[in-house]
Amino acid sequence: MAAYRFQLNGKGATVESWDPAQPLLYVLRNQLGQHGPKFGCGLSQCGACTVLMDGKATRSCVTPVRQAAGKRVTTLDGLGNTDKPDVVQAAFIAEQAAQCGYCTNGMIMAAKAFLAQTPKPTVEQVKQGLAGNLCRCGTHTRIVRAVMRAAGTAV
Ligand code: FES
Ligand code: FES
């Protein structure tokens, strides 16, 4: 069985898999206890499974585990925790930007990557930046407000 090594939230991680095409999402959830990324569509359509790979928003449901080898993978747990949330996590809490919460991992991870590229966005830019992440609960208005708050701009 092949072993794949990568950095997970700043620490070395090694996983074994019979299948180099096994989705990174399965490895993260089933072998590494990372339950932030969610299985939504499994087809790169919804964004629920988003993680950062070398800082880039990446859909882990369609990313083979072999592609993670040697990379820096960051999950929601790697941003912050309940006691010390990351600025984006804190903004989502402050704006109560979730209903069921299923999309929230993807929204936060996509927002992290987006804000790294666009630190002072307009509302329109935020909408475009997160357009590929779906929320079935219709929480978009609060999510946009949360991302603007994280950027230091109240709306
Ligand atoms: S579960 Fe990966 S994009 Fe939907
Ligand atoms: S809060 Fe339910 S899918 Fe977005």
For 86-136, what is each residue's pLDDT tens digit? 999 999 999 999 999 999 999 999 999 999 999 999 999 999 999 999 999
Q: Which residue has the tokens 């590494």?
A: 32
Provide the pLDDT for residue 145. 98
Pocket of ligand 1 (CB under 6 A): 39-42, 44-49, 59, 61
Ligand 2 binding pocket mutation candidate from 104, 105, 109, 130 (most atoms within 8 A of CB): 104
pLDDT level of residue 148 (50, 70, 90 thresholds): very high
CB within 8 A of 95, min separation 6: which ones?
142, 143, 145, 146, 149
Provide the pLDDT for residue 105. 98
Residue 24 corresponds to which tokens in the numbers above?
A: 């990174």
Find the angle CA(6)-CA(10)-CA(12) to the nearest 5 degrees: 40
Mean of per-residue pLDDT scores for the chain:
97
Of all atoms in ligand 1, which is nearest to the CA of residue 62?
2
Residue 137 corresponds to which tokens in the numbers above?
A: 């609960």
User: Are the CB atoms for 133 and 59 separated by under 8 Å?
Assistant: no
Provide the pLDDT for residue 155. 73
Q: Is the pLDDT of residue 154 over 80?
A: no
